[in-house]
Amino acid sequence: MSEATDRQLEISSYLSRLRQAISDVSATDLVWVAETLERAYLDGRTLYICGNGGSAATASHLAVDISKNTRVPGRPPVRTMSLVDHVPSLTAWANDVSYAEVFTGQLAGLAEPGDVVIGISTSGNSPNVLQALRYGRANGLTTVGLLGPDGGLARELCDAYVLAPAQSIEEQEDVHMAFAHILTRHMRSFVRDRQEALAGATAPAVQ
């Protein structure tokens, strides 16, 4: 078997596993998460998103997509913030306190009861993500997880979660990015529908 054929088989195998993982995602749990974001939006609350490594990149991506790509004229924006992007704050908390507190340190100065903290973790066991979820639970925030195949310890700390039922971390991160785009598209439609309903309710009656 040639080297080129080996590479093709490896790629095909990865894509096959990814397709299977996507098909195994619980749509019910994804709706559960989406409805949690809907309630936060209706209440004017803020979404705080965190993760490490590839999950940090997903947190940034989800934050920018939801904050920008859900904008509808005449409706308030979805208030969203990534906790992984303020590098001086991250390094200050990591250096002066501990890396486990890099997200809770920010949440303590920003979050209010009713806000949402979204932890993204393939293992579900990242100490700083767990601390963020624990902080949320203790301070009246709603906790949400985009997690790996078994959810890890984070699963028990989440008011809503959806699992990425994939074999490898890379595949799990791919599924998380799909979650990010699905949630963004959902919230865009939700905000748009709210605007259309509001416009219909205020339109003058046709004589």
pLDDT digits (tens, 9 = 90+) for 59-88: 999 999 999 999 999 899 999 999 999 999
Q: What is the pTM of this model?
A: 0.92
Q: In terms of DSSP bridges, do strands 160-163 and 142-147 run parallel, antiparallel, or are they unpaired?
A: parallel
Which residues of the chain are under the pLDDT cut of 50? Answer: 206
Residue partners of 79: CB distance under 8 A and separation at least 6? 44, 45, 46, 47, 67
Burial class (CB in 10 A: 0-12, 13-18, 19+), 188: middle
Please tell me the distance from the alpha carbon of residue 118 to that of residue 61, in angstroms, as a whole number.
13
Give the tens place of pLDDT for each residue, 173-182. 999 999 999 9
